[in-house]
Structure 1
Amino acid sequence: MPERTPNISLEDTNTPLEAGAMVGGMASFAQLLFRLGTSTKTNEKLEALSGYFAHANEKDKVWVIALFSGRRPRRAVSGTQLAVWCTELIGLPMWLFQECYHTVGDLSETIALLIPEKSASTHSTEGAHTIGQPLHYYVEKFQQLEKAPEAEKKLFILQSWLELSSRDRFVFNKLLSGTFRVGVSQKLMVNALARTVQLEPNTIAHRISGNWDPASTTFTELLSEQLTQTDHSKPYPFYLAYALEDALPELGEPADWQAEWKWDGIRGQIIKRNDQLFVWSRGEDLITEKFPEFSILQNKLPNGTVIDGEILPYHDGQVLNFNVLQTRIGRKNITKKHLQEAPVGLFAYDLLELNGEDIRHLALRERRAALEELVLSLQLPFIQLSPVVSFTDWDELTTIREQSRNINSEGLMLKRRSSAYQVGRRRGDWWKWKIDPLTIDAVMVYAQKGAGRRSNLYTDYTFAVKDGDKLVPFTKAYSGLTDKEFAQVDAFVKRNSLEKFGPVRTVKPELVFEIAFEGIAASNRHKSGVALRFPRISRWRTDKTPEDINTLDDLKKMLQLYGK
């Protein structure tokens, strides 16, 4: 879902969740989303979710679990098709549609607002579906239409647009276009489910993970122990850490803690059960075929083994820059060339299942001992133990952390040696202690309006550094300022625009910002010759002028130092 609450009324519903009546259909799902989107309190979101799960259609509940845990339907049509069909339906010139889109900032919402509301005289054509279809009807129809002729897609979409209210149409468009996002953690969803079924949250989290199909799995099956036992691919919910919040001495005795490097790769689980091998990413994508190097583990690993670790670009005993791994991410087919140019390894740091037994309840020191024995027995160069960092006191560890970037690490992980392997993000036993980001001062040269709640403000900026007498753009960023600062920059852009290229404005190069980023790599796609990892605005340097900004040579020196 977009970052803001759309300009669509929240009051046009006849099925309020708080009424306690049986709910169903797209309207109920849309109302749930808007209640979640307009609430800032966790308890209110929990009430909305648990109310929905208590009364919703069984199949709709399964799809909500799927959607909220990242299992979105694949995009059935392009954004261009939706825009064209909308303009044809309402008789609007494309240039005027584009102006509306630039003002609203979201394609799904633009279409939802432009199409007139349904009226009592609206009738479906022959063969059209009836008004008030449940959520699962639409998402499963999207799956069916993925390879259907364009005319069939268009007919279904136009009929649906005319039958749905503007708010329901907005949600329909988000699902249809593959841009559906929702700001609800899986932990919150699991806790809401626990209110309506007689299961512990940790059990629910495990049972809704893995490779299940929402179109063919019932709600009862999904939460049953039987499905967990028969789905040999099912991963465990990942244990995640919060950023270190307190001073190191507050953690207690250093001897109670295990320090490891925090790697920048793909968090994953390697699973061997029933003579089958599965590789899962933290985002619960089954990526076994993406890493054929690991196929040998199907014969090497004993059945009933689950390893938690980091998939990293790795060659000759050295962890490579994340940019190397990016050359393989997203590719449908991995060729021999990709395997040679971007070799990978697994840095294992936890063992979750051994000989078919869930050992997450054991202390970290016990799980680590079993992991070390297992990895040693494999004798495979691409399966490495993520090394434990030895230290005697917190000051020594602080000094060690400063060397992180030299080995392409993001910092350190601190794990209590007595800790069990928990579910989701937890405080207390695991902490991540990242190194400070790299920074560079740059001047803003282009601005574009944002999306969602910022669609009326210029909040998407392009920055440049000096190269002699020229300014060379090198990155974009759209986060890091306060709402007040964004409003001030927006006012500057409107007063100081020089040229217009569609939605982009060239502005006077006067505002200087400090840009923070996690890494830097060479790039042939950028005029500057570099690409930054996770760039964002660190602060607005009102104390500096454009003459004070960094140079392209400064970026290239950073590339030599940190772009290995």
Structure 2
Amino acid sequence: MKDFARLFAAVDQSTRTTVKTEALAAFFRTASESDRLWTVALFSGRRPKRAVTTTQLREWAAERAGIPLWLFEESYPIVGDLAETITLVLPPPEREDDLPLSHWIESLKAMSRLDIEARKTQILAAWDRLGTTERFLFNKLITGGFRIGVSRKIMTRALARATGRDEAALALRLMGGWQPETTTWHDLVEAEDPEADASRPYPFYLAYQLEAEPEALGAPEDWAAEWKWDGIRGQLILRGGAHHVWSRGEELMTDRFPELARAVDFLPQGTVMDGEIVTWAGDQPMPFATLQQRIGRKTVPKTLLRDAPVILLAYDLLENGGKDIRQQPYCARRAALDALLADLPADAPVRRSPLIPFESWEDLATIRADARDSRAEGLMLKRHGSPYLDGRRKGDWWKWKLDPLTVDAVMIYAQQGHGRRANLFTDFTFAAWNGNELVPFTKAYSGLTDEEFRKITNWVRKNTLQRFGPVRQVRPELVFEIAFEGIQESPRHKSGLALRFPRMARWRQDKPAQEADTLDSLREMLRLYG
């Protein structure tokens, strides 16, 4: 565990990619196979299930520290992180053991079979045997909140350096539904059959947001354009007589979208497509809110299948006839995709995402302005000669999104942030006018600078009206421009509305609260863009 703690410190304390890569590579060269396997799992989002509740952890930590629970609860929002708060209040360990990472993970997994008192005994014993950083990491694993600022690409590159294996091949091996409990280091990294799992998806190729004008990309004839659909990115895989559907987040979603099972009736085996899963009616997608009803469901009732049917809008072909064609240029892959889908019947669950013809960047800008009419977020730009790579790369794929929708709102509640912003008020609730009443309709916590957050924090402390635990009600005086990507009806909110991806675009210090927007203006946005 000490080696893993040193690795965590090295990657957490540096912003340099080279430092993080070399630290990971050094760990992969020297750690035991079980620790290497669990490190790959943790760094790719595979964590042991939570064995105890956070309420129990807070109570046990306060008891072990010899402090009243109320003092712990007051400390928690100041620190901003439960695992760190526990680490700070606990007394020094009675002794420090150097047991491996895999030992502590196995002990956490075994806790699920114990009663609560036995779990408490084991956790207290662990706290007394771990140093500060190891204890912090153990707490992160207990709470299920282990996160680290290392991308999958950096981890894969480090793994390639440590093992001498091809980085692209390793990226493919790490995809799919593998779990550290059901595989070994050898099977995951070293075995000679990386295609053993017929359901395995390819690593997704991700685009950067286009910040400059598209003219900077060069001649328009070198590029293809299509709508950036507002759905769920997914791969449809047809191999071995079956079909599989994977999300970009490596979640197997086959059972959630049973409509796509019919793809085996229309498409040959040995086919892998990249596309967007959307709910569909007539000749265009339905609002994203209809798709949201299906995202978290393991089974889909007949009424939802009827009211929110899905299709795959395919825009790339990664495997054709059982052959990996990702290194072929985009124009060739797209031609093969079009040929494959050309004669499908109208009721097939897969359709081509249409390419958008254009002759100049000015023409394309005009088309982009009407993206919302097609229920799209903007445009995707892809260089004709580009291969299908893995991860986020600059140069060949760009997303040219629409400018966000905006509304001016009044801040009515404030809460302290987490991590390095734990001493600042950064999480705010915003309201719009409904007659003479301010009605809350969204929360936001990003978009401003640290200096702005410091100024707002000073203002909050001087203008608090009431406290509700960590939340403060403040004077309704500050106005902020809230940017968001979409708006939809929501019976769960008092306003009846919900925003997609809200963030603070700017602090409107020039605007009094009385001039903020109204619920009627938000409802008009819902009518136009919902």
TM-score (norm 2): 0.96
Q: 2:21 aligns with which of 46, 59, 76?
A: 46
Structure 2 counterpart of 1:34, from 1, 5, 9: 9
Q: Aligned match of 1:339 in 305, 312, 316?
A: 305
Aligned pair partner of 2:44 in 69, 83, 88: 69
Does residue 62 of structure 2 align to residue 97 of structure 1? Answer: no
* Letter matched to residue 369 of structure 1: A
Paired with 2:191 and 2:204, the residues of 1 have a C-alpha distance of: 19
What letter corresponds to residue 446 of structure 2 in structure 1? S
Of the candidates 101, 115, 118, which is equivalent to residue 149 of structure 1?
115
* Aligned-partner Cα distance in 2 for 1:330–1:91: 41
CA displacement at 1:299 relative to structure 2: 4.3
Determine the C-alpha separation between the residues in 2 that align with 1:426 and 1:250: 17
Q: Secondary structure at the match of 1:446?
A: strand
CA distance in 1, matches of 2:368, 2:113: 51
Paired position in structure 2 for 1:6: none
> 1:228·1:234 contact (CA, 8 Å) conserved in 2?
no
Is contact 2:33-2:185 (8 Å) kept? Answer: yes
Moved runs in structure 1, 4+ residues, more than 4 A?
A: none
Map residues 478-489 of structure 1 onto 2, 5 A cutoff: 478-489=445-456
Contact 1:233 1:271 (C-alpha < 8 Å) held by counterparts? yes
* Alignment CA distance shift 1:258-1:31 (3 Å): same
Amino acid at match of 2:168: N
Equivalent residue, structure 2, for 1:164? 130
1:553 is aligned to 2:528? no
Q: Give how far 1:338 is off.
A: 2.5
2:263 and 2:349 in contact (8 A); partners too: no
The counterpart of 1:201, out of the listed 167, 182, 199, is 167
Contact 2:380-2:399 within 8 A present in 1 as well: yes
Within the alignment, does 1:502 sit opposite 2:469 as a pair? yes
| Counterpart mapping for 1:186-335 below 5 A | 186-224=152-190, 226-335=192-301
Query: Do 1:87 and 1:94's aligned partners in 2 also have CA atoms closer than 8 Å?
Result: yes
Moved more, 200-209 or 145-154: 145-154
Partner residue of 1:476 out of 443, 455, 459: 443
Correspondence for 2:101: 135
Q: CA deviation at 1:245?
A: 3.5
Cα distance in 2 between the residues matched to 1:28 and 1:475:
43
SS of 1:66's equivalent? helix
Paired AA for residue 26 in structure 2: G
Letter in 2 for 1:509: P
1:355-377 per-residue CA deviation (whole Å, 9 max, x = no partner) reads 11100011111111111122234
CA distance in 2, matches of 1:267, 1:147: 37
Cα separation, partners in 2 of 1:147 and 1:391, compared to 1, 3 Å? farther
Q: Which of 42, 48, 60 pairs up with 2:35?
A: 60
CA deviation map 1:413-439 (0-9, x unaligned): 000111111111111111110000000
Give the distance between the partners of 2:341 and 2:99, measured in 1 at CA: 53
Which 5+ residue runs of structure 2 have no aligned equivalent?
Answer: none
* Structure 1 residues 225 and 249, CA gap change in structure 2 (3 angstroms): farther
C-alpha distance in 2, partners of 1:342/1:70? 30
Q: 1:233 aligns to what SS in structure 2?
A: coil
**Corresponding position of 1:449:** 416
CA deviation string 1:237-294 (max 9, x = no partner): 1111111143222222212111010012111111111112111111111111111111
How big is the shift at 1:88? 3.2
Task: Work out which of the residue numbers 106, 122, 126 in structure 1 matches 2:81.
Answer: 106
- The 8 Å contact of residues 265 and 311 in structure 1, kept in 2 or not, is answered as yes
* TM-superposed deviation, 1:148: 4.1
Verify: 1:356 aligned to 2:331, yes or no. no
- Supply the distance in 2 between the matched residues of 1:406 and 1:152 (Cα, whole angstroms): 59
Whole-Å separation in 2 of the counterparts to 1:246 and 1:477? 27
Match for 2:467: what amino acid?
A: K
Contact 2:408–2:516 (Cα < 8 Å) also in 1: yes
294-303 vs 444-453, greater mean Cα deviation:
294-303
CA RMSD for the aligned pairs? 1.6
| Distance in 2 between residues matched to 1:140 and 1:289, nearest whole Å | 30
Query: How far did residue 222 of structure 1 move?
Result: 1.2
Question: 2:268 and 2:371 mapped to 1: Cα distance?
Answer: 34
Residues 350 and 371 in structure 1, CA contact (< 8 A), matched pair in contact too: yes
Q: Tell me the percent identity.
A: 52
Which residue number in structure 2 is paired with residue 119 of structure 1?
94
1:406 corresponds to which letter in structure 2? D
Does the Cα contact within 8 Å between 1:207 and 1:225 map onto a contact in 2? no
- Contact 1:464-1:472 within 8 A present in 2 as well: yes
Q: Report the Cα offset of residue 71 of structure 1.
A: 1.5
- Distance across 2 between alignment mates of 1:385 and 1:276: 21
Gap runs ≥5 in structure 1: 1-25, 123-130
Query: 1:225/1:244 Cα in 2 relative to 1: closer, same or farther (>3 Å)?
Result: farther
3-state SS of paired residue (2:86): helix
Task: Report the 3-state secondary structure (helix = DSSP H, G, I; strand = E; otherwise coil) of the residue aligned with 2:333.
Answer: helix
Partner of 1:19: none
Partner of 1:7: none
Equivalent residues, number: 529
Question: Could you tell me how far apart the structure 1 residues matched to 2:264 and 2:49 are?
Answer: 30
Q: Which amino acid aligns with 1:305?
A: T
Q: Partners of 2:336 and 2:16 in 1: how far apart?
A: 42
Distance in structure 2 (CA, Å) of the matches to 1:187 and 1:516? 30
**Aligned-residue offset at 1:225:** 5.4
Counterpart position of 2:496: 529
CA distance in 2, matches of 1:268, 1:39: 33
| 1:88 aligned residue (55, 63, 77) | 63
Task: Report the Cα distance in structure 2 between the residues aligned to 1:350 and 1:479, rounded to whole angstroms.
Answer: 33
For residue 561 of structure 1, give the secondary structure of its aligned residue in structure 2: helix
Distance in 2 (alpha carbons) for counterparts of 1:404 and 1:475: 25
**Distance in 1 of aligned mates of 2:382 and 2:114:** 51
Q: Is the 8 A contact 1:364 1:417 kept in 2?
A: yes
CA contact (8 A) 1:140 1:215 kept: no
> Could you say which residue in structure 2 is the equivalent of 1:11?
none
